[in-house]
Amino acid sequence: MQKFDCIIIGGGLGGLTLSIQLAKKGYQIALLEKETYPFHKVCGEYIAMESWNYLINCGIQLPNLHLPRLEKLKVSAPNGNFIEHQLKPGGFGISRHKLDHLLALEAKKLGVNLIENCKVNDVTEINENHYLVHSNIETIEAKIVVGSYGKRSNLDVKLNRDFIQNKAKGLNNYIGIKYHVKANLPNDIIELHNFKNGYCGISKIEEEKYCMCYLTTAQNLKEHNGNIKKMEESVLYKNPFLKKYFTSFESFYEEPLAISQINFSNKTQHENGIIMLGDAAGLITPLCGNGMSMAMKAAKILSELLPQYFENEINKSHLTAKYVFQWKQNFSTRLWAGRKIQGVFGNEMMTNLLINAIKPMPFLVNKLVSLTHGKSF
């Protein structure tokens, strides 16, 4: 059996970009993804500019894709009161269907052993330098395993992680819903419209499409007997922007894409010898529009630390300690700020008050945005 330097579980932005960076350095990498590219994902598809250079470094020719640059922000309260503001440096729009696929092609080109349709069921630690990864396809070996399998997976249950044991309830049990729509909105704006216990983002992606994606509590859906349409009509439509968009924009999907059991509890960055990356290490609230950049930034950090481990310059516990230190240094404030802002946005009255309060003080918007964003990497 071939022993890989590293097995990465989950081919989202964290796993794909890590595999590319390590393959570029000549390491033997296996990347196991349970789906087959290209595929859709629930995500707002706004990528903060801080990731632009890194994606180019990963082989994605972003300038040639002619993607919309998103440089304005509009935020409305459930009653329709709104603010509009320049977003600096802002972001750009691209669907996950397209971006993940381009990265997967690049990874394969660089010699990453990318196995699709491969669901990992368990990981066995033989010793700190030897792991067995068991999937529906085969069992393979590596010196180290990285878990970049997203917000919540069968492996979290298998590992009995703390956040799985916390009973998901109230404001810590969310669902995400996404549509791709035809819209007559400007190209350069990301809009965030609040409603009771949730918010909906809309912004342009490639090919004249717009991504319209919202997060709300599972309780909100439960109160409408699990009927998404009914919930949208009775809750989201109270915001006049959302009523207009949902009733006039044509969807490219027959049914919306939905995910459940989203929870923003703290997570650990390593578990049972597995190093966690992206949402598997910590999930930022989506209204910050920065989860993808965090996953990629953490991949960059790891791609610089892992070679030190492979070349025996540091041992496993040094590797883990250095990674956790850098992870916290880069992301703890963002995660904290994201939770605080989401706490306000979940509340109808607070959002209305906040929009009124911020209107005459636009510099506060810059402050809030800068708390949840990082520097270009």
Ligand X SMILES: Cc1cc2nc3c(=O)[nH]c(=O)nc-3n(C[C@H](O)[C@H](O)[C@H](O)COP(=O)(O)OP(=O)(O)OC[C@H]3O[C@@H](n4cnc5c(N)ncnc54)[C@H](O)[C@@H]3O)c2cc1C
Nearest distance from residue 168's CB to ligand X, in Å? 14
Among 28, 81, 148, 269, binds ligand X (CB under 6 A): 148
176 binds ligand X (CB under 6 A): yes
Phi–psi pair at 312, nearest 5 degrees: 60, 25
Among 159, 212, 213, 235, binds ligand X (CB under 6 A): 213
- Residue 291 Cα distances to 226, 243, 260, 346, angstroms: 27, 27, 17, 19
34 binds ligand X (CB under 6 A): yes
Nearest distance from residue 254's CB to ligand X, in Å? 20
195 binds ligand X (CB under 6 A): no
Candidates 67-75, 164-172, 288-296, 308-316; binding stretch for ligand X (CB under 6 A): 288-296
- How many whole angstroms separate alpha carbon 74 and alpha carbon 328? 30
Candidates 124-132, 147-155, 340-348, 367-375; binding stretch for ligand X (CB under 6 A): 147-155
Place of tokens 């994201």: 338
Q: Cβ distance 169 to 193 under 8 Å?
A: no
Candidates 5-13, 220-228, 337-345, 362-370; binding stretch for ligand X (CB under 6 A): 5-13
Residues 104-133 that bind ligand X (CB under 6 A): 119-120
Candidates 39-47, 70-78, 239-247, 369-377; binding stretch for ligand X (CB under 6 A): 39-47
Nearest distance from residue 230's CB to ligand X, in Å? 20
Nearest distance from residue 213's CB to ligand X, in Å? 5
Among 6, 102, 276, 295, binds ligand X (CB under 6 A): 295
273 binds ligand X (CB under 6 A): no
Interacting residues of 288 by C-beta distance below 8 A, sequence separation 6+: 334, 337, 338, 341, 372, 373
Q: Tell which residue, 267, 275, 335, 272, has the closest CA to residue 305.
A: 275
Candidates 31-39, 75-83, 308-316, 362-370; binding stretch for ligand X (CB under 6 A): 31-39
Kindly determine how many residues on this chain lie close enough to bind ligand X according to the rule CB under 6 A: 40
Residues 55-94 that bind ligand X (CB under 6 A): none
* Sign of the C-alpha dihedral computed for residues 235, 239, 240 and 245 taken in this order: negative
First to last CA, the chain: 37
Mapped onto helix, strand or coil, the DSSP state of residue 223 is coil
Cβ atoms within 10 Å of 86's Cβ, excluding its own: 11
Q: DSSP character for 336?
A: H
Q: Tell which residue, 256, 219, 216, has the closest CA to residue 239.
A: 216
Q: What is the crossing angle of helices 316-345 and 348-358, to 10°?
A: 90
Nearer Cβ to ligand X, position 92 or 309?
Answer: 92
Residues near ligand X (CB under 6 A) are 9-15, 32-35, 41-47, 119-120, 148-150, 153-155, 176, 213, 215, 262, 278-280, 286, 289-293, 295
